[in-house]
Structure 1
Amino acid sequence: MPEIVEIGERPYVALRGKVPMSGIGAFADRMREVIDWLAAKEIAPNDAPFFKYDVIDMEGELVMEIGFPVDDLHSGEGEIVTGVLPAGRYAIAHHHGHPDGLMAATGALLDWGKQQGVEWDANGDHWTARLEIYLSDPREVPDMNDWDTDLQFKLKD
Structure 2
Amino acid sequence: MDPYLIAEPVVVERAAQPYAGTARSVTMATLHQIADRVPWLIGRLAERGIAPAGPPFIRYNVIDMDDLLQVEAGVPVAKAAAADLPERDGIFAGVLPGGRYLTAVCAGNPEADVTREFLDWAGTHGMEWDVQATPAGARWGCRLESFLTNPAEEPEPEKWRTELAFRLSDYSTTSAS
User: Same-fold call, TM > 0.5?
Assistant: yes
Q: 1:32 and 1:93 mapped to 2: Cα distance?
A: 24
Match for residue 36 of structure 2 among 29, 39, 57: 29
Q: Deviations over 1:102-137 (max 9, x none)?
A: 311110111112111112111120001100011002
8 Å contact 2:34–2:71 — kept in the other structure? no
8 Å contact 1:13–1:76 — kept in the other structure? no
Gaps of at least 5 residues in structure 2 are 1-7, 171-177
Aligned AA for 1:83?
G
Match for residue 92 of structure 2 among 63, 81, 88: 81
Aligned AA for 1:41?
R
Gaps of at least 5 residues in structure 1 are none
Q: 1:22 and 1:102 mapped to 2: Cα distance?
A: 12
Q: 2:142 and 2:86 mapped to 1: Cα distance?
A: 20
How far is 1:78 from its partner? 4.2
Identity %: 39
Pairing 1:116–2:129 present: no
Q: 1:5-44, aligned counterparts within 5 Å? A: 5-44=12-51
Q: Secondary structure at the match of 2:111?
A: helix
Aligned AA for 1:18?
S
8 Å contact 2:101–2:166 — kept in the other structure? yes
How far is 1:8 from its partner? 0.9
Q: Secondary structure at the match of 2:53?
A: coil
- Max radius of gyration: which structure? 2
Match for residue 52 of structure 1 among 56, 59, 67: 59
Q: 1:82-97, aligned counterparts within 5 Å? A: 82-97=93-108
Q: Secondary structure at the match of 1:60?
A: coil
Q: 1:52 and 1:138 mapped to 2: Cα distance?
A: 17
Following superposition, which runs of at least 4 residues in structure 1 exceed 4 angstroms of deviation? Answer: none
- What number of residue pairs does the alignment pair up? 155
How far is 1:35 from its partner? 1.6
Q: 1:94 and 1:35 mapped to 2: Cα distance?
A: 23
Give the aligned CA root-mean-square deviation in angstroms.
1.4
TM-score, normalised relative to structure 2:
0.82
Q: Secondary structure at the match of 2:120?
A: helix
TM-score, normalised relative to structure 1:
0.92
